Amino acid sequence: MIYKIFVTREIPDEGIKLLKADKRIKLEIYEKDKQIPRRELLKRVKDKDIILSILTERIDDEVFNAAGPQLKMVANYAVGFDNVDLVEAKKRGIAVTNTPSEQISESVAEHTIAFMFSLAKRICEADRFTRAGKYKAWGPKLLLGTDFYGKTVGIIGTGRIGSGVVHRLHDGFNMKILYNDIKRNPQLEKETSAKFRTLEQLLKESDFVSLHVPLSPSTRHLISSKQFKMMKKTAFLINTARGPIIDEKALVKALSKKEIAGVGLDVYECEPMIDCDPKDNLDLREMDNVVLTPHTASATLETRQEMSRLAAENILMFINGKTPKNIVR
């Protein structure tokens, strides 16, 4: 049997080479290095057996209908899978996989800590200040930041990424670790002396709050106006998980009212838009105490190649009649 596979955007070549080496696979890749238009996606998935998608594509009943009844698998090139309608996929008997790995977790954990450093030490502000020619002389009060060592960090979600952040901060900076999750993490508590807190307690006590939960109905707008009011005015918020976990409108108001000290964002509620309401006079991009990156927390050559390999391995296991290692239940 020949398996027709459509890749919705070019990905690093390690996985592509694996797929091309299998004579049973007929591979088609969207040619342009940009998000595929919806109409083009619906056209190109027709008669395909497998879709290798990335997180910018909404894979739902419309896509399944456009593909046809022979579609049997969606291999999502991402750790998350909120872009795929899992309920509809299950109804149709379509397998869905993702690409979690230790390498990805390490990269995102590092990016999270880079945000913390950038905010605490005002790195981005200092860079802009210096480039603009404003540095005339050293001054005792020039761009004062905050120390890192010994501070309290609150981690919301202690999966691979959240736990990776915890270990780095505990081992390297003697930080006090608080965490919140749907269940306690005895191993993390033993290894890092991390303390479980309710969400409210964590927000009230933490100098840094970092989000590492998946997007679901229960986590959408997990952090909103009420939560910002609980936080210290000197606290920093980091989000490398999913944008809608933070109520962006409430975030902008909290920053403008100085309810928190700053925020680091790699993901956005209305991504790729940075602000959901472009008519709003307040813009995250114009705030000095905001550090923004374009969903690149896992953007290292090693990690993206690993994701490519995992996506391909999931597909090869599937067509060989085996259960893919990263099947989404």
Domain carrying residue 182 = 103-292
69 and 30 in a common domain: yes
Determine the residue type at 268.
Y
Cβ(9)–Cβ(54) below 8 Å: yes
Residue 28 lies in a domain: yes
Assess whether 90 and 180 both reside in one domain: no
Of 113, 211, 205, the closest CA to residue 168 belongs to 113
The Cα–Cα gap between 18 and 303 comes to 17
Same domain, 72 and 166: no
Q: Looking at the structure, do residues 135 and 276 belong to the same domain, yes or no?
A: yes
* Residues 263 and 186 reside in one and the same domain: yes
Q: Report the run of H or E that residue 37 belongs to, with start and end.
A: none
Per-residue pLDDT of the chain (329 residues; tens, 9 = 90+): 999 999 999 999 999 999 999 999 999 999 998 999 999 999 999 999 999 999 999 999 999 999 999 999 999 999 889 999 999 999 999 999 999 988 889 999 999 999 999 999 999 999 999 999 999 999 999 999 999 888 999 999 999 999 999 999 998 888 999 999 999 999 999 999 999 999 999 999 999 999 999 999 999 999 999 999 999 999 999 999 999 999 999 999 999 999 999 999 999 999 988 888 766 656 899 899 999 999 999 999 999 999 999 999 999 999 999 999 999 97
Is residue 324 assigned to a domain? Answer: no
83 and 194 housed in the same domain: no
Q: List for the chain the helix, strand, coil content (%; round to 5).
A: 40, 15, 45
- Residue 150 domain-assigned? yes
The reply to whether 175 and 250 lie within a common domain is: yes
CATH code (residue 182): 3.40.50.720
- Residue pair 101/310 in contact (Cβ under 8 Å)? The answer is yes
Domain count, the chain: 2
Question: Is 326 within the bounds of a domain?
Answer: no
- Annotated catalytic residues are 242, 271, 295
328, part of any domain: no
Same domain? 175 vs 258: yes
Contact 145, 200 (CB under 8 A): no
Domain for residue 170, yes or no?
Answer: yes
Residues 34 and 134 in one domain: no
* DSSP code, position 54: E
Statement to judge: residues 74 and 132 lie in one domain: no
Written as one string, the DSSP assignment of 262-277 is: EEEESS-TTTT-SSS-
Vertex 239 angle, CA 235 and 241, to 5°: 150
Residue type at position 10: E
Domain shared by 182 and 33, yes or no: no
Closest CA to 52 of 39, 36, 295: 36
First to last CA, the chain: 27
> In this structure, are 12 and 84 located in the same domain?
yes
Whether 327 is in a domain gets the answer no
193 conformational bin, left if phi > 0, alpha if psi -120 to 50, beta if neither: left
Q: What is the DSSP letter of 246?
A: B
The Cα 26–Cα 49 span in angstroms is 10
Whether 148 maps to a domain, the answer reads: yes
